[in-house]
Chains A and B, each alone.
Chain A
Amino acid sequence: MSSQPFRLSAGGLIDRTQAQSFRFDGKRYEGYAGDTLASALLANGVRLVGRSFKYHRPRGILSAGAEEPNALVELRAGARREPNTRATVAELYHGLEARSQNRWPSLAFDLLSVNSLFGAGLVAGFYYKTFMWPAAFWEKLYEPLIRRAAGLGRAAPHEDPDHYEKAFAFCDVLVIGGGPAGLAAALAAGRSGARVILCDEDFRLGGALLAEKREIDGRPAAEWLAATLAELASLPDVTIMPRSTVYGVYDHGIYGVVERVNDHLPVPPVHQPRQRAWRINAKRAILAAGAIERPIVFAGNDTPGVMLAGAVRAYVNRYAVLPGREAVVFTSSDDGWATMRDLAAAGAKVAAIVDPRVEIDAGLMALASRIGAQVFAGSVVSSASGGRALDRVTIRDASGREQSIACDLLAVSNGWNPTLHLTSHQNSRPVWDEAIHAFVPGQMPAGLSVAGSAAGRFSLAQALADGARQGTEAAIDCGFAAKAELPPRKTDPEGIALSPVWRVKGGKGKAFVDFQNDVTDKDVELAAREGFKPVEHLKRYTTLGMATDQGKTSNIAGLAIMAELTAKTIPETGTTIFRPPYTPVAIGALGGHHRGRDFRPTRLAPTHQWSQDQGAVFVESGAWMRAQYYPKAGETDWLTTVNREVLAVRNGVGLCDVSTLGKIDIQGADAAEILERVYINGWKALPVGKARYGLMLREDGFVMDDGTTSRLGETHFLMTTTTANAGKVMQHLEFCHQVLWPSLDIRMVSVSEQWAQAAIAGPKARAVLQGVIDPQHDISNEAFPYLAAREITVGGGIPARLFRISFSGELAYELAVPADYGDAMMRALMAAGEPHGICAYGTEALGVMRIEKGHVAGNELSGQTTARDLGLGKMMSSKKDFIGRVMAKREALVEAERPSLIGFKAVDPSQRLRAGAHFIAIGKPATMENDEGYMTSVAYSPNLKHWMGLGLLKNGASRIGERIRAVDPVRNGDIEVEICSPVFVDPEGTRLHV
């Protein structure tokens, strides 16, 4: 067990009573509650945590926050493994397992680090240049090689066992960031009574106050923080969401937030999600996301042990960890001097402080003198070295004289960039503020304001004042009587003077601009030389800023170097804009529960339980689960079952659930009129009590849907649609009524779910039906002929609807009852049918029988067929206007050659047909030019004892008796078929009318 050699004995916001052991690359270490993985690694003296993307350079921890480009690890193991996790924001927990990435065979000894030696071949644009020839080598050789060498972590090989969920929230004021500005804003808005949500990505609120030793009103800032958090907790309409990153700003006040609910536990508790994706609707929002410190580009600036100065303070003050014992500070701002102070106070030796500015504040000089740090004013660090751990830096003064100093930590400060990413999400480009040498938000998204460091107002006093003022304003905007601005808080003095230095030239070794994508200053020079000067070109050519960190620590240096090379200013050079997400968001979190079988809701028919009791095998049909077939004991393959079901219907009687068909109730004086306009055939002459088959087109002339529609009263129709198109047809009818013909006097409602419906089919159907309907209803062939449709009663007064319609071609009825009676209806029909040998049948048998009858279904209603293609062209009325009428007559759609519906059977009846096979003339090669159409549906007919097919064939109707080949290259099929009538069984339709 490790003793945490770099842990300070006192101080920090960690709980020394809660030791937490964890593993990194298999080795066991110990940290404390309150640590991040990064702080715990540093406490144990682990500097080297990963290898870089392209050159496999040793990399350490650069930052202490979300901007981390280097310290990416695989977190957890097995199915819960998560690649590319930033160690700086991964909350430590007992039993945490992490592995370093992109190294082979081991982190300390990486064979591919030779890439670094041959680096000349891997410069910007190398993908495009180096591997151009021969082209055939790209896919098989170059790409796999590059993919192995370059890369980040590995995705888990198994399905994620955890849950993710989506949630929605509404508030008046959303505060983004829980530092001093955000807390002050939340407090001001919360006190007014506004509904406030405060999101912070950290597990602990306080932001920069956690990392700094500051004072507010003469007292330690921690006291203000505690009091503020206590008051916020007491306000009933204030919600604090820690571990929650606002990752995107969307239109109309919508904010995307990912809450890491249980990432800080090894396994989420039962029934709890790992992460939750929020969609927060806020009337106003305040961005108080703070700022990100900027590194400096110099040789070896990626050596483990080179760290941002602010991060050093965070490790010392918040985590009680010394990131090094002998430090050098390289800073272009007063801010870096605070790191010198805090390091010294924590017991580290600060050997030197290097500041390119010649004039240094006297107070700072005195501080350095007290600490014993040698001051190098007007100087720079020209290189850092040490390979896997920093051991030395070279300091160069204005005259060019160099001096080397031993150290194990180099703290770098080059000023701060406002964390303005979210202000860019509505396409607004940040603007350069010369006074603070940084980009600040440009035009703000509606409803969003920005406070404190995120606005480029870096001092603590400004943050507190900004937050309080904007919180008050936001509450007023939402209609709350917020109190006037609070008196400004007094804070201890702080220096923010800055004179940034973007790069130090001439050092020995590579100088990195973008650590995560291994982009060096030389790459930027190359881009400039080759003409990729505009920022958008620079970005894409060098991949600068395109890694998972989106250039949080690198973009600015890249722009500044390009500005220098092109003799332009930074504002003239411009900047790219940020897009969502602010930090990576797992797709799993965005998908929530919508995966696998829960991808969309499953709808169950009211007869589902009955089907299940019958042993049904179910199949997805549109949004529904429908019974596909009902295997009996001893039936080992589905075809045996389906054959039995088909024969039972044709020779006796069968029962099939058809509840899932769409049903639309249409009433009103113009009910017949709208049917005239949406269907191709006529409806006004349909008598009350009759059903009719209808076909509707889209306005472009292709078939949309079909079904039977019944006239239940003079002004009352019931339309049925296919299962899959029920919603689409309803939407279409609403469009016709509300947009096209608003003057029609009709009302429509979907009643698909209100009625359960069953088909009773077969020669004995009438006898079965008579057992369930109330005796006063005469359903003899004379009283209730084919296509009759009537409201009746069943089971002693239960309202029902009876339709004499048939998909199977047999004597058949469809009986509908209110959905709640659906289960009872099926059971009653089975009981009544038992003496007649009734058989439950599913969609497969239904499909076989409709093919036997040449009826079209989903395979033929493909969106690419016209009524004419399906042999239904004669249905198109010439006496009325209807949707699709004009476009269906377009030249290409009425061409004689156009494939039309016809039947097929194999010349050798033992051969199986395949849907999807294409028709090719005998003796011709199977090429596109010789393609004459394709098979849409096939089935085995147990009545005919051979396979039969429906298909679309050029001049189909005129070619009955001809032979052609059905070629199925996918399954190696090439068989001879005979073209025949698409009606295989009872072509005269006599069975319908018995």
Chain B
Amino acid sequence: MRIPCPHCGARDAQEFTYLGDANPKRPDGMEATEAAMFDYVYQRDNPAGRFRELWYHGAGCHAWLVVTRDTKTHAIEAAEPAKPTKAGAAA
């Protein structure tokens, strides 16, 4: 696969590390319950089709990216920085 890194251009997938689902949000703070944290740490969907997922460009710009990929065809719709840029966007 080739991933269109917003900073580095289309790069080989070997340069990236995969994490998985980009949707779960960490239950921050002292109030976080064990149940909510358990869901965050362990519960994952495994959809066939459109999927927003996190990739880390470790051999490139060190950016964490949210890549929107079709898990059936590997077609990549978008790749955006997980950290919002000044112009807005992503995550």
A contacts, CB < 8 Å to B: 250-254, 279, 281, 446, 699-700, 727, 730-731, 734-735, 737-740, 742, 880-881, 886-887, 889-890
The reply to whether A738 and B63 contact each other, CB–CB distance below 8 Å, is yes
The reply to whether A739 and B91 contact each other, CB–CB distance below 8 Å, is yes
A-B contact list, 8 entries, CB within 8 Å: A253-B2, A279-B12, A731-B17, A731-B56, A738-B81, A739-B54, A739-B83, A886-B34
B88 on the interface (CB 8 Å rule)? no
- Total contacting residues, chain B, CB less than 8 A: 33
Chain A residues whose C-beta falls within 8 Å of the C-beta of B83 in the assembled complex? 737-739, 742
As a 0/1 sequence over residues 76 to 91 of chain B, the CB contacts with chain A under 8 angstroms (1 = contact) are 1000011110000001
Specify the main secondary structure of chain A where it touches its partner: mixed
Residue of B nearest to A730 (CB): B62
Residue of B nearest to A281 (CB): B2
Within 8 A of A (CB), among B52-86: 54, 56, 58, 62-64, 74-76, 81-84
Decide: A739 near B41, CB < 8 A? Known: A253-B2, A254-B2, A734-B62. no
Decide: A740 near B56, CB < 8 A? Known: A734-B64, A886-B37. no
The reply to whether B58 and A252 contact each other, CB–CB distance below 8 Å, is no
Further 13 A-B residue pairs, CB within 8 A, beyond A734-B63, A738-B63, A881-B28: A254-B1, A731-B56, A734-B56, A734-B64, A735-B19, A738-B64, A738-B83, A739-B82, A742-B84, A881-B32, A886-B27, A886-B37, A890-B34
A880 to B54, CA, bound (A): 27
Chain A residues whose C-beta falls within 8 Å of the C-beta of B27 in the assembled complex? 886
Chain A residues whose C-beta falls within 8 Å of the C-beta of B19 in the assembled complex? 735
As a 0/1 sequence over residues 33 to 51 of chain B, the CB contacts with chain A under 8 angstroms (1 = contact) are 1100110111000000000
A252 to B54, CA, bound (A): 19
A251 to B13, CA, bound (A): 10
Q: How far is the CB of A704 from chain B (nearest CB, A)?
A: 14
The reply to whether A742 and B74 contact each other, CB–CB distance below 8 Å, is no
B26 on the interface (CB 8 Å rule)? yes
The reply to whether A251 and B74 contact each other, CB–CB distance below 8 Å, is yes
The reply to whether B64 and A739 contact each other, CB–CB distance below 8 Å, is yes
A461 to B27, CA, bound (A): 67
The reply to whether A886 and B32 contact each other, CB–CB distance below 8 Å, is yes
User: Which of A254, A739, A881 lies at the interface centre, i.e. has the most chain B CB atoms within 10 A of its CB?
Assistant: A739
Q: How far is the CB of B65 from chain A (nearest CB, A)?
A: 9
Q: Which of B38, B58, B64 contacts A887 (CB 8 A)?
A: B38
The reply to whether A887 and B34 contact each other, CB–CB distance below 8 Å, is yes
Q: How far is the CB of B6 from chain A (nearest CB, A)?
A: 13
User: Which of A727, A730, A738 lies at the interface centre, i.e. has the most chain B CB atoms within 10 A of its CB?
Assistant: A738
A90 to B24, CA, bound (A): 55
Chain B residues whose C-beta falls within 8 Å of the C-beta of A739 in the assembled complex? 54, 64, 82-83, 91
A881 to B32, CA, bound (A): 9
User: Which of B10, B37, B40, B42 lies at the interface centre, i.e. has the most chain A CB atoms within 10 A of its CB?
Assistant: B37
Chain A residues whose C-beta falls within 8 Å of the C-beta of B82 in the assembled complex? 738-739, 742
Chain B residues whose C-beta falls within 8 Å of the C-beta of A699 in the assembled complex? 26, 37, 40-41
Chain A residues whose C-beta falls within 8 Å of the C-beta of B41 in the assembled complex? 699-700, 887
Chain A residues whose C-beta falls within 8 Å of the C-beta of B81 in the assembled complex? 738
Q: How far is the CB of A862 from chain B (nearest CB, A)?
A: 19
A889 to B56, CA, bound (A): 29
A254 to B37, CA, bound (A): 40
A253 to B1, CA, bound (A): 8
Residue of B nearest to A880 (CB): B30
A737 to B26, CA, bound (A): 13
Chain B residues whose C-beta falls within 8 Å of the C-beta of A731 in the assembled complex? 17, 56, 58
User: Which of B2, B27, B29 lies at the interface centre, i.e. has the most chain A CB atoms within 10 A of its CB?
Assistant: B2
Q: How far is the CB of B50 from chain A (nearest CB, A)?
A: 16
A739 to B81, CA, bound (A): 9
